[in-house]
Amino acid sequence: MGTILHFGLGNFARAHLLDYTDQAGGWDVVGVSLRSSSVRDGLARQGFEYDLCVQGQGVRRIKVLRDVLVAPEDRAAVFDVMADAEIISATVTEKGYHLGAAGNLNLQDPAIAADLAGQGPSTLIGFLAFGLAGRRKPVTVLSCDNRMENGKTLETAVSDFANAAGLDVNWDVVRFPNAMVDRITPATTDAVRAISGDPMAVPTEAFSEWVIEDSFAGPHPDWPGVQLVDDVAPHEMRKLRMLNGAHSLLAYAGLERGLTYVHEAVRDPVLRPLVSQLMKDAGATLPAAVQAQVPDYAEALLRRFESPELAHRLDQIAMDGSQKLPYRFVPTLRETGSQAVIAGMRAWVSYCMSETAKVRALNDPCASEIALAAKQPDPLMPLLQLVGAEDLAPLIRE
């Protein structure tokens, strides 16, 4: 029996890592909520079990969760589990890494600065740095977030924090494997709760993929169907540039056209060819190792997007654009000059300007910077600077 301590117990974690671990057997998971107690409270009322509603397959009861800790309530309890867990994993989204423009930890970020000042920790990075300090037992830190080189990125952020805080971390016993995760998981709706009879139910699609760099410090569950590989990068690029890139295009351009859901946007006669072109252009940038997969993968993505049963909201995908577009749009645009990606970038700029004009703060860690940029006489350049694409302004302005 082993233990996974998982930071960020949102729907995706409960549809992906917890589902895989539940099926593997022999391990349990302790979840950590970094802010709210609502997930803990809801799951505690039902013994930390919940229904996973899988499209076309029915309902599966997930029983692998042993407990959920709420970090602000009891940090010591989190550190106690960290001290013995074989795996520490995370789904805190792109913004949970608190990175600066160069990809290193932003030490001036208010949450990171507060952790460094001894007020917490409250962030994943702070918890990891303090929890790993002095540890001698091998441990694997496994990122499950949508970032290129997510393990390496997380390791860099934790190392930056540890150095700034003067913490002694024995890096020889810690591994940060890169990983690619894929399973479309919308927010839970009242309709899902009503159908399943479980207020904590999680809806998801039947498709699921997990590719992990085979670099573990110790044991791991025998996760069914997981691919252990030497190099995750080709798989990361395929998913981020094709699936996530297409999702972001549909989100911003779909909202601009008054649409609400992915299945509506992908059937739109204007957007459908754009999405197909984006996937083709993104596919052309991928390494030779996955080039042969591109046509079938693109067709499969369109089928997945078309499902009305998932009811995947465009505004959910539109969140945190400043953190997502550098991985989803910018590399494809820089390498190919894709007209489809240009359309997506323009739609994001329009979305930022429209939300600002309506005095609605974007759900984005750079919301204040976006609002300031959107109010400029020429907002394009400051907005592109936020996603590291200022050099592409001439393409987008044409």
Tell whether 135 and 186 lie within a shared domain. yes
Is residue 69 a contact partner of residue 49, using CB atoms and an 8 Å limit? no
- Given 230, 246, 273, which residue is the final one in a domain? 230
> What is residue 119's predicted lDDT score, i.e. its pLDDT?
81
Does one domain contain both 142 and 287?
A: no
Distance, in Å, from the CA atom of 149 to the CA atom of 13, rounded to the nearest integer, reads: 19
- Residues of the chain with pLDDT below 50 are none
103 lies in the same domain as 248: no
Output the DSSP codes for 243-256: IIHHHHHHHHHHHH
68 - beta bridge partners?
31
Residue 216 shares a structural domain with residue 262 = no
Picking from 201, 230, 259, the residue at the C-terminal end of a domain is 230
| Judgement on whether residues 256 and 217 belong to the same structural domain of the protein | no
Residues 18 and 69 in one domain: yes
Q: What is the pLDDT of residue 220?
A: 98
Phi, then psi, of 227 in degrees rounded to 5: -95, 120
* Closest CA relative to residue 113, chosen from 124, 104, 126: 126
Print the domain residue range for 385: 234-397
Angle between helices 245-256 and 339-357 (to 10 degrees): 50
Q: What is the DSSP string of 128-189?
A: HHHHHBT--S-EEEEE-SS-TTHHHHHHHHHHHHHHHHT--B-GGGEE---EEEE---PPP-
Q: In angstroms, rounded to a whole number, what is the distance separating the alpha carbons of residues 15 and 10?
A: 9
Instruction: Please tell me the predicted confidence (pLDDT) of residue 120.
Output: 84
The CA distance from 348 to 379, in Å, is 12
32 and 141 belong to one structural domain: yes
Let me know whether 244 and 333 are in one domain: yes
Token pair, residue 160, equals 């930056």
Domain stops at, among 230, 261, 281: 230
Considering its fold, how many domains does the chain have in total?
2
The CATH number linked to 183 is 3.40.50.720
Same domain, 302 and 211: no
| pTM (whole model) above 0.85 | yes
Same domain, 276 and 352: yes
Residue 267: DSSP 8-state: T
d(CA 46, CA 42): 7
Same domain, 226 and 161: yes
Give dist(CA 5, CA 21) in Å, integer. Answer: 12
Q: In the 8-state DSSP scheme, what is residue 226?
A: P
Q: 10 Å Cβ neighbour count for 270?
A: 11
- The pLDDT value recorded for residue 107 is 96
Identify whether residues 281 and 364 lie together within a single domain: yes
Residue 253 sits in a domain whose CATH number is 1.10.1040.10
Of 43, 95, 98, 97, nearest to 69 (Cα)?
A: 43
